[in-house]
Chain A
Amino acid sequence: MDFYFGLAQLIGVHTLLGLSAYIVLLTGQVTLAQAGFFAVGAYVSAMLTVLAGWHLAPALGIGALAGAITACAVGFPALRVKGLMLVIATLAFGEGVRLFFFNFDYQVAKGGIKVGPLGGEGFRQIRFFPEHGWSTLEVMLFVWTCVVLAMALLWWFDRSRYGAVLRAVGEDEIAAQAVGVNLTAAKVSAFTIGGAIAGVGGGLYAHYTTHIEHSSFNILVATFAIAYPIVGGLRSVFGTLLAVIFVQGVLIEGLRFLGDWRNLLFGALIVLAMNVRPAGFLGGARRA
């Protein structure tokens, strides 16, 4: 049973990652920076629980804040570039964050052993869950509480005027400006909210794996982040959830019996899915 709980944790964390890209995509910005915000949230909240001895809940909050501040700082320069240039710029940012953590040492002695991030070796022994005796089931429920909250928040945004404004910006920036939308506010706020969600996801990820390192936040993670909302469709947040279940549950776990053939089929099935439903599982705006 623990295997399924573990899979559910993974799906939950990846849903947060996908949702963080979803809101940025609504404004028509294709971002590969989400793995960077995910990393910031992971390191910040893990350092707070391990080095400062905080409880996980406030540590996640600060991790979300750190993700949001970083994303806000990325959002402003991102306003100046569009399309492919933005993809490259955000990719460079994500790699920059990864390389920062590759070189980041901050170890403190705790009870005879040194703990904390140690460059390329990563950050081991993030032991909040085992130390507090949380079972895999409890961890999974905690992860999914966060996922449900994030989905509810974005669902509410989607139905509000704010969501319509973000979509208007994504459709036509010139027209949006002409009807009085503040482009800077719309784009940067979407980045900031996405950064906060990615920060929470990263914090949860760090704690259930108990060990993070720079390569946990590479381009592949950034690609997954943006693939989920695109495969799921931008009609609603549930598309992103469906896409994560499809990719992580069905394709990666479900095809394990195929051995090496899995990787080949994995790509082919995503291409097939996008051909059958070009606007994503849950239809909607045709954009990618």
Chain B
Amino acid sequence: MLDLKGVSRTFGGVRAVDGLDLTVGDGEIVGLIGPNGSGKSTTVNLVTGLLPLSSGVVYFRGEDISDLPTHKRLEAGIARTFQNIRLFGQLTVWQNLWVAQNSAEDRAARGFFSRWLGGQKAVRAEIAQLLEFGGLADKQNELAANLAFGEQRRLELARALAAKPKLLLLDEPAAGMNSEEIGQLRSRILSLRERGITILLIEHVMELVMGVADRIAVLNFGQKIAEGPPAEIQADPLVRTAYLGGGA
């Protein structure tokens, strides 16, 4: 599904991501962990095209997408959420989902004529489903800025799904959540996998990432220092050193 080959990004003299190779297979949930500043969010920005690559290649479903702009990558099937929630606060919940329907098929269906031939009905039905998924059906006419924190997180996830993604990048979706909410998030993520969506999960909360990921990659100073199933990663001395510091 997703292949990073020697991906690097430098900011001035700092190598935020340094020669990263990472593969995410069809239907997999891959966790990407690492201490603060290890390049996790930068990786997400490189995959979605919000930042240009300094070097390396990004393949999506076998095609080189390194030079595609962000909206083209989304059309191809890559959606994301943000670590610090970025909703359109002055738009309603419903409108937030409406503007995010930008998959290739939605764009094709948005022709002038098909819209009058019942296309609008399909759009409404899809948004209703997304509202249901996010548990936001009774909030659809609220401004996004007026939602509670947990609701905003759910709306952001629903908004990413509005693009019918094949690959979903979740950037610290559990940040600021209590353990009950994390439990709900876990079952949401697993239900997405059942729908056939591949997931790259960037997370600090070990409780979540160890529970849902098939495989985990660990970043430190922009480089991959370990990769493997959760149990193996938990036992890895290099990983412990990166997180706890000092010489183990």
Residues of chain A whose beta carbon lies under 8 Å from any beta carbon of chain B? 161, 164-165, 167-168, 171-172, 174-183, 284-286
Contact = CB atoms under 8 A, between A and B. Distances in A.
Interface string B134-175: 000000000000000000000000011011000000000000
Nearest to B74: A180
B67 to A, nearest CB: 15
B100 A180 contact: yes
Contact of A168 (B70, B80, B82, B99): B99
B165 to A, nearest CB: 10
Contact of B71 (A161, A172, A182): A182
Which among B71, B74, B89, B110 has the highest number of chain A CB atoms within 10 Å? Answer: B71
B98 A164 contact: yes
Interface in B49-101: 50, 69-71, 74-75, 79-80, 82, 86-91, 95-96, 98-100
Nearest to A279: B90
A179 B98 contact: no
B91 A180 contact: no
B48 interface: yes
A177 B159 CA distance: 13
A164 B91 contact: yes
Which among B48, B87, B100 has the highest number of chain A CB atoms within 10 Å? Answer: B100
Interface string B183-197: 000000000000000
Contacts of A168: 88, 91, 95-96, 99
The 7 closest A-B pairs by CB, nearest first: A180-B102, A180-B74, A175-B86, A179-B100, A177-B70, A285-B90, A171-B88
Which among A172, A175, A176, A183 has the highest number of chain B CB atoms within 10 Å? Answer: A175
Nearest to B80: A178
B98 A161 contact: yes
Nearest to A235: B90
B48 A179 contact: no
B71 A174 contact: no
26 contacts: A161-B98, A161-B99, A167-B88, A167-B90, A167-B91, A168-B88, A168-B91, A171-B88, A171-B90, A172-B86, A175-B86, A175-B87, A175-B88, A177-B71, A178-B48, A178-B50, A178-B80, A179-B74, A179-B79, A179-B102, A179-B162, A180-B74, A180-B75, A181-B71, A181-B99, A285-B90
